């Protein structure tokens, strides 16, 4: 029943806190999650990767450099090694206006730490990030979701750019609602990346009902970008067509309130944002 309720809720507009309230606090940190949770975001969005000793952690980049004082690839390190890193100070340096001494020393979080903190009091929108670099991440994720009773209670969505990864999840547990991520760009070089990441849908101009229906076989929605190089890459009719073929449309990553409003006017089903406070104010 809870799972059915989750699917029903997905028919109304969803505020998805991208890496937590990552416009206000270091991305994927407990501080960013606490803010998004306090503000009442519908979902906490996190990218999930695997450590060299098989633990699951919330971290976006494949490498440590941008958002920590470490370097190299995250999956080359054990959890204990990663726990020594500071993933907060970079934020204070990059955004002095938002800096807070409390962010210094913020630790990379395991999925269990997130579940232990928010448990059944939040919903989670988890991405299998670069699953080819994180082999086994699907089984590890499903095992933890089952252990924390997150599936039957309708508390989780899984998203990926990688169709194979979603199909693996589906095979492991067919009750987990899935979101197929896509990245549209008119640029040929990026088109190649699109194919590599997803191999699922042609561009918004050429996409057919059959393409949408093929995704709807295993997923409840699409997560898509909307801008490339300042230009729209989707439009209202793309949104309608996806919805008519049974897919919810969630758009990433929208931080500007005028752009939020435009996408809401197009009828999208949810937005990923670093500023859930702005979006909540707009939709309330």
Binding site for ligand G3P (CB under 6 A): 18, 47, 60, 127, 159, 181, 223, 252-253, 272
Residues numbered 174 to 193 that lie near Ca ion (CB under 5 A) are none
**Is 18 one of the catalytic residues?**
yes
CA 19 to chain centre: 7
Give me the least distance between CB of 129 and ligand G3P, in Å please.
7
* CA 243 centroid distance within chain: 20
73 an active-site residue?
no
Q: Which CB atom, from 46 or from 85, has the smaller least distance to ligand G3P?
A: 46
35 or 254, CB closer to ligand G3P?
254
Nearest distance in Å: CB 1, ligand G3P: 28
Q: Which does 273 bind (CB under 5 to 8 A by kind): ligand G3P, Ca ion, none?
A: none
- 162 in contact with Ca ion (CB under 5 A): no
User: Taking the CB of residue 72, how many other CB atoms lie within 10 A of it?
Assistant: 11
DSSP string, 22-43: TTTS-TTSHHHHHHHHHHT-SE
Segment 43-102, which members bind Ca ion (CB under 5 A)? Answer: 47
Are the beta carbons of 92 and 103 closer than 8 angstroms?
A: yes
In whole angstroms, how close is the CB of 33 to ligand G3P at the nearest point? 15
Rounded Cα distance, 172 and 165, in Å = 11
130 binds, among ligand G3P, Ca ion, none (CB under 5 to 8 A by kind): none
What end-to-end distance do the CA atoms of the chain give, in Å? 27
CA angle 242, 124, 12 (to 5 degrees): 40
Which one of Ca ion, ligand G3P, none interacts with residue 37, CB within 5 to 8 A by kind? none
Residue 42 touching Ca ion (CB under 5 A): no
Beta-strand relationship, 43-50 and 56-58: antiparallel
For Ca ion, the binding residues in 196-255 under the rule CB under 5 A are none
Q: Which is nearer to ligand G3P, 81 or 218 (CB)?
A: 218
Spatial separation of the C-alpha atoms in residues 274 and 25, rounded to whole Å: 9
Tell me which residues touch Ca ion (CB under 5 A).
Answer: 47, 127
């Amino acid at each position: 029943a809870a799972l059915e309720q989750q699917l029903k809720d997905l028919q109304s507009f969803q505020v998805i806190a991208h890496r937590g309230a990552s416009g206000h606090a270091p991305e994927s940190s407990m501080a960013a999650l606490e803010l998004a949770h306090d503000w009442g975001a519908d979902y906490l969005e996190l990218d999930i990767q695997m450590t060299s000793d098989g633990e699951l952690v919330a971290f976006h980049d494949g490498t440590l450099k941008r958002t920590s004082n470490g370097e190299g690839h995250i999956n080359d390190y054990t959890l204990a090694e990663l726990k020594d890193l500071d993933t907060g100070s970079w934020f204070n340096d990059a955004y002095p206006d938002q800096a807070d001494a409390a962010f210094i020393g913020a630790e990379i979080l395991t999925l269990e730490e997130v579940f232990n903190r928010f448990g059944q009091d939040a919903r989670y929108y988890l991405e299998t990030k670069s699953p080819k670099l994180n082999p086994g991440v699907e089984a590890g994720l499903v095992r933890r979701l089952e252990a924390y009773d997150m599936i039957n209670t309708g508390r989780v969505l899984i998203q990926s750019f990688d169709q194979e990864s979603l199909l693996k999840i589906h095979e492991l547990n067919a009750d987990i609602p899935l979101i197929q991520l896509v990245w549209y760009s008119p640029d040929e070089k990026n088109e190649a990346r699109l194919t590599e990441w997803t191999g699922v849908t042609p561009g918004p101009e050429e996409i057919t009902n059959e393409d949408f229906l093929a995704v709807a076989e295993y997923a409840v929605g699409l997560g898509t970008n909307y801008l490339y190089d300042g230009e729209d890459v989707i439009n209202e009719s793309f949104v309608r067509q996806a919805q008519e073929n049974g897919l919810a449309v969630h758009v990433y990553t929208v931080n500007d309130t005028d752009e939020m409003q435009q996408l809401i006017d197009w009828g999208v089903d949810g937005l990923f944002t670093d500023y859930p406070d702005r979006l909540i104010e707009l939709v309330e």
